Amino acid sequence: MRPIVIAANWKMNTTPADAGELAGTIASRTQAPGVTRVICPPFVCLAAVRDAVAGRGVEVGAQDVHHELAGAYTGEVSVPMLAGLATWVILGHSERRAYAGETDELIGRKLDRAVAGGLRPILCVGEVLAEREAGREVEVVGAQLRGALDGRDPQALAAAGLVIAYEPVWAIGTGRNARGADAAAMATAIRTSLAALGWESAAAEVPVLYGGSVTSTNIEEFLAEPGVDGALVGGASLKPDEIAGICARAALTAAARGLAS
């Protein structure tokens, strides 16, 4: 049975001085049986967040990781450096694709490193507005999945806990969220793409999240869809009231799907 995951992507927000307090507040206000909660702060805030949430059922993730283990890569952070700090990692976020020029091929190499190092990856995919307006969203997302996953062992990636986040670029940070039905259609398309890569059984096991202007008000629309297994939340994840509302709704879904223990 697939888990319900609510992952907070804090992006380039918070400092080591304030991240621990925010994470602690979120940990106490988001308790949600059956919901996997993850906070992904900036690298320099990982230790503060780890300490603040220790023993409180919240997991910690990085927002990216380098594809090499060590070497002359100024400013980068590798998988071994995250040991003891993070157990999850976001890969291929559209902001990294757009601002850091990340390609599907590079993201695939990061995925290999993350899995080998025991990090649980959240692989982000999603189309830009022009692609959606041209009706090309399934094709674009399918190509992203193929580019990052082709040739890799689906059972190993599923066993490593791979999560796919469908984040349409036009919905990120814009206040213009996709419709629940669109997210559900894309979750189906993602599983169809995985099956076409030879993933058959693993395709059904991989959680698919929606991301893009998720709030405590619209989360209902996404979690009402049986193919959507949670959310990757940006701006609203920095607001305790918002993320508390999102996790409370997710707890209802977890109970309805028989996940709450």
Nearer to ligand 13P, 64 or 199 (CB): 64
Report the distance separating Cα 4 and Cα 251, nearest Å.
Answer: 8
Residues 118-177 that bind ligand 13P (CB under 6 A): 167, 172-173
Is-contact 228 208, C-beta < 8 A? Answer: yes
**Nearest distance from C-beta of residue 235 to ligand 13P, angstroms:** 3
Number of DSSP helices (H) and strands (E) in the chain, helices first: 11, 8
Of 113-121, 154-162, 205-213, 239-247, which part binds ligand 13P (CB under 6 A)?
Answer: 205-213
192: Cβ contacts below 8 Å, ≥ 6 apart:
203
Indicate if 67 belongs to the active site: no
Please give the residue whose beta carbon sits closest to ligand 13P in the complex: 234
Length of the chain: 261
Q: In angstroms, what CA-CA distances link 80 with 93, 99, 116, 158, 228?
A: 21, 25, 10, 22, 32
**Binding residue for ligand 13P, selected from 92, 211, 230, 245, defined by CB under 6 A:** 211
Q: In angstroms, what CA-CA distances link 4 with 16, 17, 105, 114, 139?
A: 29, 30, 28, 21, 26
**Binding residue for ligand 13P, selected from 6, 106, 189, 232, defined by CB under 6 A:** 232
Sketch the per residue contact string, 2 through 41, with ligand 13P: x for CB under 6 A, - otherwise. Answer: -------x--------------------------------
Strand ranges, E, within 100-196: 120-125, 163-166
Nearer to ligand 13P, 193 or 213 (CB): 213
> Does residue 214 bind ligand 13P (CB under 6 A)?
yes
Of 21-29, 111-119, 153-161, 233-241, which part binds ligand 13P (CB under 6 A)?
Answer: 233-241
Binding footprint of ligand 13P, residue count (CB under 6 A)? 14
Indicate if 93 belongs to the active site: yes
**Residue 208, phi then psi, degrees to nearest 5:** -120, 120
| Cβ atoms within 10 Å of 22's Cβ, excluding its own | 24
Q: Which residues bind ligand 13P (CB under 6 A)?
A: 9, 93, 167, 172-173, 211-214, 232-236
Supply the residues annotated as catalytic. Answer: 93, 167
